[in-house]
Amino acid sequence: MSNVQQYQYQLPETLNTAGSKLVYLYLKIENEATINELHMALGMKKITLYSLLQTLTATELVDQEGAMYVCTE
């Protein structure tokens, strides 16, 4: 028997890159994360994460609360 959990999330239509979708989904599932947590979990470069998170916050899909990032929806 598998312990894999299934999640069904509707992605916002404004997410147009694989990176932004991946970060958004990770934040949806985990509820919040720091840059370091995203870096370790997703294996993405921090400079890439900063750029993606800047875009996600500018489009109001993600909020920054101190060092933590959270989805707004």
What was the pLDDT predicted at 8? 77
Q: What is the pLDDT of residues 36-71, one digit of tens each?
A: 999 999 999 999 999 999 999 999 999 999 999 999
Q: Which of 56, 24, 26 is nearest to 40 (CA)?
A: 26
Better-predicted residue by pLDDT, 46 or 10: 46
Q: What is the DSSP letter of 33?
A: B
pTM of this structure: 0.87
What was the pLDDT predicted at 3? 65
Q: What is the pLDDT of residues 13-38, one digit of tens each?
A: 999 999 999 999 999 999 999 999 99
| Residue ranges covered by each domain of the chain | 18-71
Question: Element (H or E) spanning 10, and its range?
Answer: none
Architecture of 18-71 per CATH? Orthogonal Bundle (1.10)
